[in-house]
């Protein structure tokens, strides 16, 4: 059995995007086994258990990931993750992977694949609502698929937005009002908000939005009126209804499952997609176990491991 | 993060029984979080993902366990397991435990706790149907709770039964017919059978039965008529209906959920139990994640670990 840590360093993001794209394509073709994510509640947070089997990539396993919002005050990340990979012919534990940073990257990759298919242009102004680790991951991954000419960034905390602008290398980046940020070609929201931050009136026709932040019941970033104007694509229907951007609007009767335009997998295999240049498209990302397995495969191919006895 | 392997060596079985008993007591009081076991099917077997949180023992985590029946031909166990333990206040991965042999022990412990409460006598003749690793684990664990005066053993393969008899230390053990084996005080069935092996007519009044083998849909070891004569206790209702000894009889309309007399946890907390000396009692064990966490706690207390970087 092997233990991998630090494998995110030096990963080829384009390779990650392609692996995640293949995983979603298989999801679109209904070739994967992926039971719904299971939540267990702890006093200061929760953890989620995500098993899956991806026959075409030849990988099976389970990601275990926590969400503890008070962790930063203790000097720990809010989200930490471990992926266990099983040998398919025998079921033997084959690898354990520190998946904390890989989780950021695989979520970034899903956003990048969504942009590849749904962005209205190949060269874009990118708007960012939220400036955490996931905002960075989205910029890095999306930049592999389309050209980011300029970034507009907003954070609830202006200091964070300024710091993000300063830290970004090689792309013009401006910290500005959320309303101004929403006036872009591709908008990426990555906050843990429980009330809508992005108002429908701020978003012009043709915009593509990666709605990344909502990944648990009660979370939402977009005004429900925006969903009604847009073609909303999800990563996985069951997970999105339970915990994605659409979960609160559905609970409130402001949106319904039937209004979902399709899944990212269906877009990749050509069954669904952007229909008009003027269409607003939304990708509602909750994060799938198959993304974790796809990136685990690449991490194991390129990473070095500590060998552990297992008898 | 720590990696534990070989922790089953030298474990105090009585301590394991007590920890498993406490876990079941908490289950009886509805104090645990334990979503149903999730099955993922692989070409030559399956794997099961078992998350749980046990507040009273202060432990949370996930066991991942495979079942690959063709493994012995490859020189590997049919069942292998890994448990991931999370730090409760932060959700950080705290330990990874090789749980292959611990899985045997925690199942043995559940059988032992069932015997503590349901055995008709304190000194018994023990009947064994099946002679694999789990038969050994049951004998060792039950011997901590009641006195085993004699063992009668049967296996589909007579060579296995003979070998088992020879290997047992300190207890008289006879290999005999399955009908004779069933004429005992405590009967333990540990086979992967998909057709009933134990006929109702062979079992006399007052017998307690640990029905351990059935742990997946389609498996059964006992003639359904025997269930109807007995008080059937389960480890967990949802899991037993899905994959325990009662799963096939329920599917066939020969038994029903409503006929279940209670859970092992309810017995331990005094809500349920054996009512008469002449009663036949059955413990239908499917194996719970809380048992895995209880034994993981002990393994971590006594075992030595390899320290792994996790950043």
- Supply the CATH number for residue A66's domain: 3.30.1780.10
Distance from CA of A173 to the nearest CA of B (A): 30
Distance from CA of A82 to the nearest CA of B (A): 7
The pLDDT tens digits for B199-228 are 999 999 999 999 999 988 999 999 999 999
C-alpha closest to that of B276 among B210, B229, B215:
B229
pLDDT at A74 over 90: yes
Q: Tell how far CA B38 is from the center of its chain.
A: 18
Residues A12 and A147 in one domain: no
Distance from CA of B123 to the nearest CA of A (A): 36
Nearest to A64 among B84, B306, B310 (CB): B84
Please state, in angstroms and as integers, the Cα–Cα distance from residue B200 to each residue in A186, B182, B207, B221, B224, following that order.
69, 9, 11, 11, 8
* pLDDT band with cut points at 50, 70 and 90 for residue A30: very high
Residue at token pair 């069935």: B189
* pLDDT band with cut points at 50, 70 and 90 for residue B311: confident
Residue B96, beta-bridge partner list: B3, B84
- What is the residue-averaged pLDDT of chain B? 97
CA–CA dist B237, B244 (Å, integer) = 9
Across the interface, whether the CB atoms of B51 and A33 are under 8 A apart is answered: no
Residues B256 and B111 in one domain: yes
On chain A, the residues whose CB falls within 8 A of the CB of B66 are 86, 90-92
On chain B, the residues whose CB falls within 8 A of the CB of A44 are 88-91
CA–CA dist B104, B132 (Å, integer) = 10
Contact between residue A219 and residue A192 where contact means Cβ atoms under 8 Å apart = yes
Strands (E), chain B: 2-4, 38-42, 45-54, 59-67, 81-86, 93-98, 123-129, 147-154, 172-175, 186-189, 208-211, 231-234, 262-263, 281-284, 305-307
The pLDDT tens digits for A47-62 are 999 999 999 999 999 9
Beta carbons within 10 angstroms of residue B239's beta carbon? 22
The torsion angles phi and psi of A249, rounded to 5 degrees, stand at: -55, -35
Residues B252 and B116 in one domain: yes
Residues A147 and A99 in one domain: no
Strands B147-154, B123-129: pairing kind: parallel
On chain A, the residues whose CB falls within 8 A of the CB of B96 are 82, 96
Residues A301 and A252 in one domain: no
Q: Give the per-residue pLDDT at B272.
A: 98
Residue A234, beta-bridge partner list: A263, A284
Helix (H, G, I), strand (E, B) or coil at A196: coil
CA–CA dist A152, A174 (Å, integer) = 5
Burial label, A155 (beta-carbon count in 10 A; 0-12, 13-18, 19+): buried
pLDDT at B27 over 90: yes
Strands (E), B5-101: 38-42, 45-54, 59-67, 81-86, 93-98
C-alpha closest to that of B51 among B63, B66, B41:
B63
Across the interface, whether the CB atoms of B40 and A33 are under 8 A apart is answered: yes
Nearest to B5 among A52, A76, A309 (CB): A309
Angle, CA B212 vertex, CA B207 and CA B214 arms, to 5°: 120
Beta carbons within 10 angstroms of residue B70's beta carbon? 12
Residues B127 and B226 in one domain: yes
Looking at the complex, does the CB of residue A91 fall below 8 Å from at least one CB of chain B?
yes
* pLDDT band with cut points at 50, 70 and 90 for residue B247: very high
- List the 7-26 stretch of A: residues with Cβ below 8 A of B: none
Residues B204 and B143 in one domain: yes
Q: Is A63 a catalytic residue?
A: yes
Across the interface, whether the CB atoms of B90 and A71 are under 8 A apart is answered: yes
Looking at the complex, does the CB of residue B4 fall below 8 Å from at least one CB of chain A?
no
pTM: 0.94
The pLDDT tens digits for B169-206 are 999 999 999 999 999 999 999 999 999 999 999 999 99
pLDDT at A10 over 90: no
Q: What residues contact B157, with CB distance under 8 A and at least 6 apart?
A: none
The residue of chain A nearest to residue B3, with distances taken between CA atoms, is A308
Query: Into how many domains does chain B fold?
Result: 2
- What is the residue-averaged pLDDT of chain A? 97
Residues A182 and A52 in one domain: no
CA–CA dist B79, B69 (Å, integer) = 8
ipTM reported for the complex, 2 dp: 0.93
Q: For residue A261, what are the domain limits? A: 109-287
On chain A, the residues whose CB falls within 8 A of the CB of B100 are 311
Residues B8 and B111 in one domain: no
Looking at the complex, does the CB of residue B45 fall below 8 Å from at least one CB of chain A?
yes
For the four alpha carbons of A11, A13, A18 and A21, in that order, the dihedral sign comes to positive
On chain B, the residues whose CB falls within 8 A of the CB of A64 are 51, 61-62, 84, 86, 93
Residues B113 and B231 in one domain: yes
For the four alpha carbons of B130, B131, B133 and B137, in that order, the dihedral sign comes to positive
- List the 51-80 stretch of B: residues with Cβ below 8 A of A: 51-53, 60-62, 64, 66-68, 71, 74, 76, 80
On chain B, the residues whose CB falls within 8 A of the CB of A98 are 310-311
CATH of the domain at B280: 3.40.50.720
CA–CA dist B86, B168 (Å, integer) = 38
Q: Give the per-residue pLDDT at B199.
A: 98
Residues A243-249 have a mean pLDDT of: 97
The pLDDT tens digits for B262-277 are 999 999 999 999 999 9
Residues B120 and B258 in one domain: yes
Q: What b-and-e string marks burial along A90-111, b requiring 16 or more CB atoms within 10 Å of the CB?
A: bbbbbbbbbbbbbbbbbbbbbb
The pLDDT tens digits for A116-134 are 999 999 999 999 999 999 9
The pLDDT tens digits for B121-164 are 999 999 999 999 999 999 999 999 999 999 999 999 999 999 99
Q: Give the per-residue pLDDT at B183.
A: 98
pLDDT at A311 over 90: no
Complete DSSP assignment for B114-128: HHHHH-S-SEEEEEE
CA–CA dist A83, A95 (Å, integer) = 8
The pLDDT tens digits for A31-43 are 999 998 999 999 9
* pLDDT band with cut points at 50, 70 and 90 for residue B112: very high
Residues B112 and B239 in one domain: yes
Q: What residues contact B275, with CB distance under 8 A and at least 6 apart?
A: B231
Across the interface, whether the CB atoms of B67 and A38 are under 8 A apart is answered: no
């Amino acid at each position: 059995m092997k233990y991998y840590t630090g494998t995110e360093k030096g990963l080829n993001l384009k390779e990650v995007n392609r692996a995640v794209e293949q995983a979603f394509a298989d999801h679109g073709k209904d070739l994967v086994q992926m039971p719904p994510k299971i939540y267990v509640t702890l006093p200061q947070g929760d953890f989620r258990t995500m098993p899956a089997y991806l026959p075409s990539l030849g990988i099976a396993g389970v990601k275990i990931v926590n969400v503890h919002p008070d962790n930063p005050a203790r000097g720990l990340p809010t989200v930490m993750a471990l992926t266990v990979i099983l040998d398919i012919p025998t079921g033997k534990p084959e690898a354990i992977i520190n998946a904390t940073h890989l989780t950021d990257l695989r979520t970034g990759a899903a956003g990048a694949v969504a942009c590849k298919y749904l962005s209205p242009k190949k060269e874009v102004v990118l708007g960012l609502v939220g400036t955490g680790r996931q905002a960075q991951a989205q910029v890095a991954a999306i930049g592999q698929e389309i050209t980011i000419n300029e970034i507009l960034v907003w954070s609830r905390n202006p200091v964070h937005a300024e710091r993000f602008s300063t830290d970004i290398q090689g792309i013009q980046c401006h910290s500005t009002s959320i309303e101004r940020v929403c006036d872009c070609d591709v908008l990426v929201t990555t906050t843990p908000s429980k009330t809508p931050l992005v108002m429908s009136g701020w978003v012009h026709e043709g915009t593509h939005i990666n709605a990344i932040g909502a990944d648990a019941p009660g979370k939402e970033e977009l005004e429900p009126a925006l969903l009604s104007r847009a073609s909303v694509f999800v990563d996985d229907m069951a997970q999105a209804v339970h915990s994605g951007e659409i979960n609160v609007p559905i609970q409130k009767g402001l949106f319904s499952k039937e209004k979902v335009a399709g899944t990212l997998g269906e877009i990749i295999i050509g069954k669904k997609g952007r229909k008009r240049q003027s269409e607003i498209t939304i990708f509602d990302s909750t994060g799938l176990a198959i993304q974790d397995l796809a990136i685990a495969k690449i991490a194991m191919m390129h990473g070095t491991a500590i060998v552990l006895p297992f008898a």
